[in-house]
Structure 1
Amino acid sequence: MNGFKRQLACGDSLGQYVTEAAAITGETAYVGAWINGQIVARATARGELPVHAAEVPLGTTGYAHARASGKLLLAMCSEADCEDYVKRHPMAPRTSNTITTSKELRKELEQIRRTQVSIDAEEYSVGLMCMAIPLGVGPKTAALGISAPTDRFRENEQRYLSLLREIVSRARA
């Protein structure tokens, strides 16, 4: 357990990304990443708007098929790694919007690969939408995301996407 906790302890860079994303969007931000075959919440920062998503606890795993960061990371990994993950983590529903079949998930992952954007449309929690994009260069092993109340997310989706891409582009420079 101590080894896993040491892996969760992230360097300043991940903390900087979520802090900046939360500051400029006002929404709760997070970084999800692969650790030992698991998709894990590595860094979080609470949004400052009056109504905001709760912070995802560090170390949160599971339900990758229902989370924006999880779907993005599944889309970016090899097909074999994705299949292995899904075999080990059944696609149980969290809400009535949760993807629960391999066919639906494959279609979603293809879309994410094309756009490099993943959206959780109330799949993990009713009333909440999330967006994640790849973080870093090389193999995509981390995702930067935000969570927002559904109405506000829909009103600001393109702005949020632009802001996240701006943050990530500076990370690549």
Structure 2
Amino acid sequence: MIKDKIIYKGNPKESDLNRMNSETIDHTILKDTFSIPYAYIKKIENQKGKNYIKIFFAKDSEEELYINDDNIKSEIFEYIKNDHTDFIYSSELPSFVKYTKAQLFALVSITGIFIWSLYLAIQIESGIEYELVGGRKPGIAGVILIIANLGTFKIITGYLVLLAIAIFALIKKIKSRSMTEYLKR
């Protein structure tokens, strides 16, 4: 519900909804809802094919308004766009890299760990001994050394499994890329 430049999110009871209309609002109904004033909102996203409108507010907070009907979702977005003239409207297809940043980072990370641990595993299997020095907890090098001690076969098998999962997530994310409407300050 949107009233007085505030977006209310919640699940009111059916009996409470029946008592409410566009002119009068029983404010006791609103006490169980989460409210986001327009003044707090930094950005609003409406992506085609998704059943929610994403609202970014405060420092790093975000909230999703789930709406199952695409027509109603579009109407709500249009209402906010027309109701608040401080927002700048734009519509674009997100870039491949921007949209899949997390999946690409996962691919690069597991590949880097794989190469490093595989190199150490090959060295260990050829007779070279490695030792962790220092009294602190082992950092990333210690973790890589532990992985390297598993052996090349297990490292390759583990990498292929993680690579398959990362590629599956990347493909799924790419398929969900669609036009997105933005309202930004």
Q: Which bracket does the TM-score occupy, shorter chain normalised?
A: under 0.3
Greater length-normalized contact order (CA 8 Å, ≥ 6 residues apart): 2
Please report the TM-score for the alignment, with normalisation by the length of structure 1.
0.23
Which of the two has higher C-alpha Rg? 2
